[in-house]
Structure 1
């Protein structure tokens, strides 16, 4: 992967807490149709911590790990698609002065962004094929046109583990609670990394023996925690002051200066941590985790997932490699493996497999039932919803989920306004009660009068 980079410092050194490194990620074949705003704001994951979408500057801000190792330190990264260079993405990496990014660091950051935005050749092919299929289906007389762009790409996380945990957080609760649980996990990660919670605290007594690490990994961990502790100790005010200045990133191919002042200050750095890794969660006490992050029964499932990954019972890299060839046989193989994971029911399995790029199965829950009844005038129930979605979306095979999700996302946009322009504080208002039709609201009020 080709990397273009430039380093610069803030104009006022007294306000700077470090350097801003600019990485450039070419979009390749996707450049003709790719829009960062559409790609990011295509799934509820973009609203979940530690992601922060800025509707003013049209940029995504979140921490990313410097290597693909789960003990790696994190840096804050702001992702944009510059108007003067729409054929690439710009990654502004806000790093402490003690951090110097190696080629490995740069490649890891670019790989995480590519995963989130689905920038592989396979993803581009899928997006193109689905658009063509959808346009053909829309020519049918009974089809309804949509006001929002179709979802040829569905936003996901920089790691499969984060996708898995977030799919667990989607189960059996309202959207506001899902958001709060994700935020609590990121807040906990920051506390763990900054060592504000003592490892000698009784709450942190592991339920299982700590896994033995090689000398090399232990040395990496020692260096990582030192770097993170120094990085996290910088105050929010200092970081905002640095990010609020224009960074002059002179490149050989011209100026790439971007206006960061459009972003609201809290979006540049609000003290939130990264999403925790398996290593950071696996040895926590279940009762502490459930209470600290208000996870309920999900705490045991998340802990067991982290422990199984850390102890080699679940191999994330093998799962990802298998998903690269999106065949029915590979889907069946992965689905069987997912079913063996503690707490992974049909809905969670289908969601995780969707994140891995399989779109022929629609994860169905009560929200799917509501959508079919409200938009398609069905009398669907939780027992019949599986059969109903097969009948309605069969014509979009093998991209049934993309058709369903494009339709559902368009409905959300019509009800709440353009989601990419919604302020962060309003995400919690996307609830089942606010999705009811006006007619249903009226009839409900009449009954209570």
Structure 2
């Protein structure tokens, strides 16, 4: 969803003013002036946080597949719950109370058997017998993104296997459990981010770093979703962009994992406090040049936006030619 508050609108105007002051009518930076300055985010902070976990240590196609699997899982959970309730209703006898004592016992057994898939185990605090993926559904569908309550009591190994999450399953479960148990106050985090100052950023970053799995990259992504644009979450895609982007000047040919944080600070400092918006405008423009108008890109092609499909063709050609000459 888009932030459409007056507060966010003021940020957009300020960003555009900075771009105009820096570049004027330069044709080479038209993409910066045409960039709206608005960034989509998820309907809930929990969803943003989980998706930021899914971005770590994998290609974008893997991130998409994991997010899709979580939505499919949510559909399965809801379908099973609906089936359980429907089955219970179907077994409720429509007879006078005096004649239903024997049937009540049967209703109770059916309800308990169905509900056992979703209720919390009092012994191990998990839903270890939830095996949705092994029970074929009559139809397949896509649900919403799962809520903390829907994830908190799932078995870790089941979640990891069902959604191909790997080590991320543990982190997502702990996050969901922390929210459900009240140890992680998402509403309070949202309230505290209304003042997007450097001091509030530092405080929020420290609080997020206390959550298992929330390192610098994940925290920076979450805080960007919350409206802090002065820090650029840097990863391998950032390095590729700084080295290879052709629509802007090549920023840093020698950029590495060790130097990327320093490089983006130096390169985008002039756009403060909106460094991320300038960086993202460049990235978005580059993706558009490589893949066409992104708003018209079929959903099935989203997975093509990976590092292997963004290599500088000229550089790749030179490397192949050099290898051939050496042979």
TM category (shorter chain) comes to 0.7 to 0.9
Q: 1:274 — aligned with what?
A: 144
**Which of structure 1's runs of 4+ aligned residues deviate more than 4 A?**
140-143, 196-199, 201-208
Aligned to 1:3: none
Q: Which residue is equivalent to 2:321?
A: 446
Structure 1 residue 194: deviation in Å?
1.0
2:294 aligns with 419
Residue 310 of structure 2, aligned match among 432, 435, 444: 435
Match of 1:343 in 2: 213
For residues 193 and 448 of structure 1, what CA distance do their matches in structure 2 show? 55
Q: Pairwise mapping of residues 165-204 of structure 1 onto structure 2 (< 5 A)?
A: 165-195=50-80, 200-201=116-117
Contact 1:175 1:428 in 2 (8 A): yes
Residues 423 and 381 (structure 1), Cα distance of their counterparts in 2 relative to 1, 3 Å cut: same
- Report the counterpart of residue 162 of structure 2 in structure 1: 292
TM superposition shift of 1:131: 1.2
Q: Deviations over 1:356-409 (max 9, x none)?
A: 000000000011011111132411001101111111111100000001111111
- Report the structure, 1 or 2, having the larger strand content: 1
Q: Which residue number corresponds to residue 17 of structure 2?
A: 132
Question: What displacement does 1:149 show?
Answer: 3.0
Q: Which runs of 5+ in 1 are unaligned?
A: 1-115, 211-232, 237-269
Which residue is equivalent to 2:47? Answer: 162
Deviations 1:415-443 (A, max 9, x none): 11110011111111111011111112212
Given that residues 206 and 284 in structure 1 are in contact (C-alpha distance below 8 angstroms), is that contact kept between their aligned partners in structure 2? no
Q: Distance in 2 between matches of 1:295 and 1:207?
A: 26
TM-score normalized by the length of structure 2: 0.79
1:324/1:377 CA distance change after superposition, 3 Å: closer
Q: How many pairs does the alignment contain? A: 278
Map 1:305-344 → 2, pairs under 5 A: 305-344=175-214
Single out whichever of 400-409 and 130-139 deviates more from structure 2: 130-139
Of 109, 125, 128 in structure 2, the residue corresponding to residue 209 of structure 1 is 125
TM-superposed deviation, 1:446: 2.8
Contact 1:205 1:284 in 2 (8 A): no
C-alpha distance in 2, partners of 1:448/1:175?
Answer: 29
> What is the CA–CA distance in structure 2 between the aligned matches of 1:316 and 1:147, rounded to whole Å?
33
Equivalent residues of 2:32, 2:278 under 8 A apart: no
SS in 2 for 1:193: helix
Alpha carbons 2:243, 2:255 under 8 Å: kept: yes
Residue matched to 1:251: none
Partner residue, 2:95: none
Q: CA deviation at 1:289?
A: 0.1
Match in the other structure for 2:227? 357
1:282/1:303 contact within 8 Å kept = yes
Q: TM-score, normalised by structure 1?
A: 0.58
Distance 1:161 1:153 in 2: 20
The answer for unaligned runs of 5 or more in structure 2 is 85-113, 127-136
Provide the C-alpha distance between the structure 2 equivalents of 1:124 and 1:392, rounded to a whole number of angstroms. Answer: 25
C-alpha distance in structure 1 between counterparts of 2:264 and 2:308, whole Å = 23
Structure having the larger proportion of residues in helix:
2
| Correspondence for 1:381 among 256, 280, 286 | 256
Q: Deviations over 1:121-150 (max 9, x none)?
A: 111111111111112222397964328831
The residue that corresponds to 2:30 in the other structure is 145
- Whether 1:371 and 2:256 are equivalent positions in the alignment is no
Could you tell me how far apart the structure 1 residues matched to 2:34 and 2:141 are?
33
Contact 2:196/2:228 (8 A) holds in 1: yes
| RMSD, matched Cα | 2.6
CA offset at residue 327 of structure 1?
A: 1.4
Shift of 1:209: 3.4
The answer on whether the counterparts of 2:32 and 2:281 sit within 8 Å (CA) in structure 1 is no
Structure 2: distance between partners of 1:283 and 1:202? 8
Q: CA deviation at 1:159?
A: 0.4
1:102-113 alignment, distance < 5 Å: none
